Structure 1
């Protein structure tokens, strides 16, 4: 009997020691799965008075797999499972604390449906005014994996628009297109647009975008008085500009005629104006051979009868007079040669 009681006492002591060890490491608290645009991040808290030196291990499993560790013995109080999940998967996550070789018990989450429970961000809205209407361009939020159309085939965009400062008069519009036109708007008026995404198959609504505002332009209609003013202005401009253009063309023509006259100088005149002065005479004098005019000295002899005749001129004076006559004849010849060269051929 004593052996039986002793064995039972050892068993209970072991159980007690195990419970004491497990109780020595507190469990993580507030374990939640945060999912935004198909991400999957497990987050948790831990008592501050026992957080120093504590490490954490987080695991996940699906219907087809057993628990697989994604984060092991880390100090950070969150674990990102995005790269280990699929948007149509169903997952269970768990985490435990580790301290000095001891561990806490696992804290499990409930089953998590990623495509149903994830939060979808707002669409991106851009506006462009076109002929008085407002062109709205919508872009889907960027998911952590795949695209919004791949996950949800049926998507509806909800639009709200209003005049700036009059949000209480906003109008609603639904569409499945990413590009649409808001018509029947006032020209030169600032309008604001806000949008979100509704997924009918999941009864799921995305976050709403921030308001985006833009001013509309003219609607293309022109008032009659504007047309009349434009016609009168164009008529006045035409009336004034045509004579000015005619005068400008005439003066340009006269200037060109002055710079480039139609009458042309003869070639020998051009050559005479281009070449240096007296060049023709100089060439004619170089090319012509010097002519030697024959002459004989005339000597007058007195017979000594009657009155004594005047003394005859000295032979040297006679030679000087003949040389002067020769120089005059050569100058007359040069003038004749110049006149012949200047005459047109």
Structure 2
């Protein structure tokens, strides 16, 4: 009895497996994801009908020539890309089937008209630019599978713009240009913008873009910017001129210190080199003064000490004349080339310039003469 039951169960299992392999179910939920010019066919298939079996799928399409063309042959994926083989103005019939170990399911077919059935995508990019108290919206066209503009396919394409500043301030605007200035906006107010592509041919509407928000500016802000820039430039110019002036002043003082030093000659040197006490002009040499000074000899101080002592005694004796120079008569001056014997390098009337230079006036006042070595 039990053996008969086991045999019947085994025969039933083998028969069920054989029937599942022979009569495979077709792919289910066949859909076509079509956006602009991108087309992808997808489907579902119950894998429990052939457990532990390798299932493959084949996808074909037929066009106006009524010839089936295979796109995806024995693919393990549950999708097939048809973007590169379908034209957006064509009309097609698509089909897909499953295969297991050489057995095939029935075909699942789906008609497809790209120009009508394909969805329209949103703008590829939306950017907001503030322009004073208004906003400029720059819209980029939706793109095809080859990254070209959808306007090349749909020339009637236009944009629907929705902008608002709050729940109660929603505005709508339609345009065909890529650059739009939103009107009737308030200064210093935040507005949000979203854009949708539209085509009246087949009445297509894309999804809205992600909302973008930006604050408007105003004329007050512009004037404040101008004023701040002006004041900033004045401060910068002031510091530049200050640095240049400091550099010039330092250079001027350095040149002045080198050309016109602050040190002055001693007072007795200035009196000796000047014509008079009240004059700053230097003493000028005349031809007569050059004739009187033929030759000046500077003698050592050791050789002059005895003679200077005798000369001092002569000055103090009160005699009327020393024999060489006379205060009343100029005939006592020694002439060049006179024959007078000398006891050494300098006689008793010869003195050094060091003894005469410090106090020239006192020597003349005492004796009225100046002894020089000629």
Q: Same fold (TM over 0.5)?
A: yes
- Which position in structure 2 is the counterpart of 1:256? 251
Q: 1:57 to 1:254 in 2, by over 3 A?
A: closer
Q: TM-score, normalised by structure 1?
A: 0.60
- Which position in structure 2 is the counterpart of 1:96? 97
- Which position in structure 2 is the counterpart of 1:176? 176
- Which position in structure 2 is the counterpart of 1:131? 132
SS across alignment from 1:197: strand
Q: Is the 8 A contact 2:21 2:100 kept in 1?
A: no
The alpha carbon displacement at 1:78 in A equals 0.6
Q: Is the 8 A contact 1:21 1:102 kept in 2?
A: no
Which structure is higher in RCO with an 8 Å CA cutoff and minimum separation 6?
1
Q: 1:167 to 1:141 in 2, by over 3 A?
A: farther
Distance 2:198 2:167 in 1: 22
SS across alignment from 2:251: helix
Runs of at least 5 residues in structure 1 that lack an aligned partner in the other structure: 1-18, 266-324, 336-345
Distance 1:53 1:256 in 2: 95
The alpha carbon displacement at 1:263 in A equals 8.8
- Which position in structure 2 is the counterpart of 1:156? 158
SS across alignment from 1:85: coil
Q: TM-score, normalised by structure 2?
A: 0.56
- Map Cα deviations across residues 66-101 of structure 1 (whole Å, 9 max, x no partner): 111111111111111111111111111101111111
Q: Is the 8 A contact 1:160 1:172 kept in 2?
A: yes
SS across alignment from 2:256: coil
* 1:1-345 paired onto structure 2 within 5 Å: 24-50=23-49, 52-110=53-111, 112-123=112-123, 124-145=125-146, 146-163=148-165, 166-220=166-220, 249=245, 255-261=250-256
Distance 1:150 1:247 in 2: 63
The alpha carbon displacement at 1:326 in A equals 6.6
Q: Is the 8 A contact 2:133 2:218 kept in 1?
A: yes
SS across alignment from 2:152: helix
SS across alignment from 2:121: coil
SS across alignment from 1:87: coil
Q: 1:210 to 1:246 in 2, by over 3 A?
A: closer
Q: 1:174 to 1:219 in 2, by over 3 A?
A: farther
- Map Cα deviations across residues 24-67 of structure 1 (whole Å, 9 max, x no partner): 22111111211122111111111131254111111111113511
Q: Is the 8 A contact 1:132 1:220 kept in 2?
A: no
Distance 2:28 2:250 in 1: 98
RMSD: 3.8
- Map Cα deviations across residues 280-308 of structure 1 (whole Å, 9 max, x no partner): xxxxxxxxxxxxxxxxxxxxxxxxxxxxx
SS across alignment from 1:258: helix
SS across alignment from 1:257: helix
The alpha carbon displacement at 1:142 in A equals 1.9
- Map Cα deviations across residues 144-179 of structure 1 (whole Å, 9 max, x no partner): 14431111011221111111xx13421011111110
Distance 1:178 1:253 in 2: 58
Runs of at least 5 residues in structure 2 that lack an aligned partner in the other structure: 1-17, 261-343, 355-374
Number of equivalenced pairs: 239
The alpha carbon displacement at 1:194 in A equals 0.8
Q: 1:199 to 1:256 in 2, by over 3 A?
A: same
